[in-house]
Amino acid sequence: MKSSLAFFKQHVLPALVCFALAYAVGQTEWVQRVANLTLDSRTKFRAHFFPTKPRDDVAVVGIDQESLNQLGRWPWDRNVHGDFLQLVGRMKPSVVAWDILFDDPSEHDAHFADGIRKGGADVVLGGQGVEADLGIPPDDASVKNFKLAPLTRIEGDATKIVTYPAMSVPHSPLGEVADIGFVDTPPGPDGFRRDAPLVVRIGSRVYPTLALRSLMHHWHLTPDQVTVRLGDAVVLESEFIKRRIPIDATGAFFINYRHALDGFLNFGYGETFAALYQRIVQKKTVDVPEFTGRILLVGQTADGLSDFGPTPFSALTPLVLVHANVLENVLNEDYATRAPPVPIWLGGCAITVASLAFFSKRKFSGQVLFSLGLPLVYGMISALFWAKFSIRVPIVWPVLGFVAAQIYSGGRRVLSEQRAKEQIKGMFGTYISPELVDRMVASGVSPQLGGHEEEITAYFSDIQGYSTFSEKLPPAQLVELLNDYLTACTDIVQEEGGTLDKYIGDAVVAMFGAPIALPDHAYRACVTALRVQQKLDELRAKWEREGERWPEGVRRMRSRIGLNTGAAVIGNMGSRTRFNYTMTGDNVNLAARMESGAKQWGVYTMITEATKLACERHGGDRIVFRSLGRMVVKGRTQPLPLFEPVGFKEIIAPQTRQCIEFFEQGLASYYARDWDAALAWFGKSHVFEPNAPGRIPGVVSNPSKIYLGIVAGLKQSPPAAEWDGVFVMSEK
């Protein structure tokens, strides 16, 4: 049972999840665009390696460049079209379908219509669905006598058909002598016409598009012999013909592109006109096209004309080819289909599960080769299915699902191996620092004693009054307390890019800027100090909620932090058999003095001027500092300006800002020996101190209180004339 559950979690579940997500992603527009590009590649592949012979009963009469040279700039006088049709009709074509709109009236429409009548051929002129203000409704009196017979045998939800409120059609008398077929073939999201409507809805009436109307003429079908079953097929049925054309729920036909322009019988309009004129009118013996029984499609094919768009064969293709391919598909019953997704989804999952299980115990390189090779094989199979059977097998989302599962499996293996390495590191980490182990693994060189000088920011922290409450706690509870506190501090140090040096009881020693160089190490250290103080606020609240489980000293626990920036010796230090990656030097000692000296100034974080300036270079004014004056630390002779990082600029309280302003005035008066003014300013700042004894648990002092005591003493016993306001530390 356990092994089955483990197999499901390790192999089956990842495959199911990856394929489900891949299928969902595969329905998005941008993935559909990629999928369509793969279909276009397969279409070109098929046309090149599996060409088919075009039908000889579909011909394109193109308005090509030679025709423009012969007959002039497009559009031509409609007398030309009337004469052309009068001549073409003598060749007995099955139907002449115009993928051209004649929706603006012309003074030569009568001659055009007369040519249609005299030619005797069935003619279908192009119409188009439009917005209400651009056309006329189908029940308008102006089209009452037009040959606009709608289709009435509609099964399914007709509202899903491409619908327009009005139509743009040839004007009288053209609409009275020629049928109208709608040329609407809306492009998809990627601009390609992959599905062509066979029907279009104008108002509440359903009309055939140009291709379907042409086929109706070709097979001599009336509208009542056409049944439109939305989501299934358009059924054409008479005693001579029965044809079922698959469509989707909107009445669109999935075009099975077989040929570009040069793949069809292709005649130039001007050349055809000239040949027919010479043969029929001038009685010359010239070769003329054989049009008898053929469907003629008249459309624009010259570069620079308007009726162009992208198809799988080219980014700029005459769109008359859309109708030509639809006609040939239907005449050959050469229909493209889309493979159902469920079998592919299930099959893909099964293959993926099998591969994950098979390669889980084998070399990773074998899985990589399989992960690359199978999509290539699947792509070739998909291309063959399209080439031989016109079945569109999806490529993108199944490959995404398979590859995602393989990546997950590979990542899981890498993670598992990494965890094994981490376990080894953890074992060695009980003796040497984890950072040193990482450096050993990365460099491949065994560690040696020695170090180098590097500018860093040293970080020291210690718990205020630790000894007063640690003796009240049993060992297990004390360890729990320290673990909570040290974990919180260490996590923040590492999140900000710092390196833990060591723990000394309750003290945390860390460095910023080594072993990895960080230009903003001072800024990161200051951010760490503020975040640690914020985290300690949260821990105190947690311990307070736990009530009497913790003594009062724990619930009021505070931590003091000291920072200093400067050059220090960094490296592996210790004995020949045991050493640690650590820091040493005078600047490191100064950081420790900042932590211990913070108590004398009534603050919980104290830094040197070097740290403040380096922080401001990289962090700007995001951190607000308060000057604490100047001090000479134990073991030094030169005074140091000291500062307190008060908080982040964006969240600091207005009262705190007021406190800092008053405090700075107090310092200025202090250095000017104006004791009364200093007492007044420090008295004001004391009111706004964020850490006020008696009001904030655990707080015993603050800078304003400290300076009030110092100034009061100096006022009572004024200092010597050479006094410069520097405070000298007598303790470490």
Instruction: Give domain status of residue 439, yes or no.
Output: no
- Tell me if 427 is assigned to some domain: no
Coil/strand/helix, residue 262: helix
pLDDT at 441: 56
Q: How does the average pLDDT of the chain come out, rounded?
A: 89
Q: Does residue 234 lie within any of the structural domains?
A: no
Name the least confident of 124-128, 257-261, 438-442: 438-442
625 shares a domain with 530: yes
- Note whether 728 and 583 are same-domain residues: no
407 and 499 in one domain?
A: no
Q: Are 121 and 89 in contact (CB under 8 A)?
A: yes
Peptide bond into 197 cis (omega under 30): no
Q: Do 658 and 730 belong to one domain?
A: yes
What is residue 730's predicted lDDT score, i.e. its pLDDT? 63
C-beta of residue 591 within 8 angstroms of C-beta of residue 503? no
On whether both 604 and 672 belong to a single domain, the answer is no
Burial track 61-73 (b if 16+ CB lie within 10 A, e otherwise):
bbbbeebbeebee
Residue 245 lies in a domain: no
Q: Do 645 and 657 belong to one domain?
A: no
Instruction: Give the pLDDT confidence score for residue 654 in this predicted structure.
Output: 92
Query: Is residue 374 assigned to a domain?
Result: yes
Residues 393, 467, single domain; the answer is no
Shared domain for 697 and 589, answered yes or no, is no
The SS3 assignment for 457 reads strand
CB 456 within 8 A of CB 570: yes
Q: What value does the mean pLDDT take over residues 211-231?
A: 96
122 & 188 share domain: yes
**Residue 427 has what pLDDT?**
40
* Tens digits of residue pLDDT in 280-306: 999 999 999 999 999 999 999 999 888
pLDDT digits (tens, 9 = 90+) for 306-362: 888 888 888 888 999 999 999 999 999 999 999 999 999 999 899 988 888 888 777
pLDDT digits (tens, 9 = 90+) for 386-432: 999 999 999 999 999 989 988 888 888 778 767 756 654 554 343 33
Residue 188: the pLDDT is 87
To the nearest 10 degrees (0 to 180), the angle between helices 654-671 and 675-688 is 160
- How many Å apart are CA 65 and CA 62, to the nearest integer? 9
Residues 321 and 406 in one domain: no
Q: Which of 332, 354, 374 lies at the terminal end of a domain, its last residue?
A: 332
Interacting residues of 529 by C-beta distance below 8 A, sequence separation 6+:
459, 461, 561, 563, 605, 607, 645
Angle CA 127–111–265, to nearest 5: 60
CA–CA distance, 26 with 32 (Å, rounded to integer): 6
**Three-state SS at 727:** strand
Give the integer Cα–Cα distance in Å for 678 and 684. Answer: 10
pLDDT score recorded for residue 437: 56
Residue 244: strand, helix, or coil: strand
Domain-terminating residue out of 312, 332, 352? 332
Residue 435 has pLDDT above 70, yes or no: no
The predicted model gives 202-221 an average pLDDT of 96
Q: Give pLDDT, residue 70.
A: 94
491, 628: one domain = yes
Predicted local confidence at residue 448, as pLDDT: 47
Last residue of a domain, one of 599, 632, 649: 649
Please count the structural domains in the chain.
4
Instruction: For residue 546, tell me if it sits in a domain.
Output: yes
Token pair, residue 730, equals: 């007598």
Question: Which structure tokens are listed for 257?
Answer: 């592109």
**Amino acid 582: pLDDT:** 87
The pTM of the whole model exceeds 0.85 = no
pLDDT of residue 444: 46
172-203 tens-digit pLDDT: 999 999 999 999 889 988 889 999 999 999 99
Q: Which domain holds residue 389?
A: 2-45+337-413
**Do 60 and 143 share a domain, yes or no?**
yes
What DSSP string describes 619-636? HTTSEEEEEEEEEE-TT-
Distance CA 55, CA 329 (A): 10
Asked whether residue 437 is domain-assigned, the answer is no
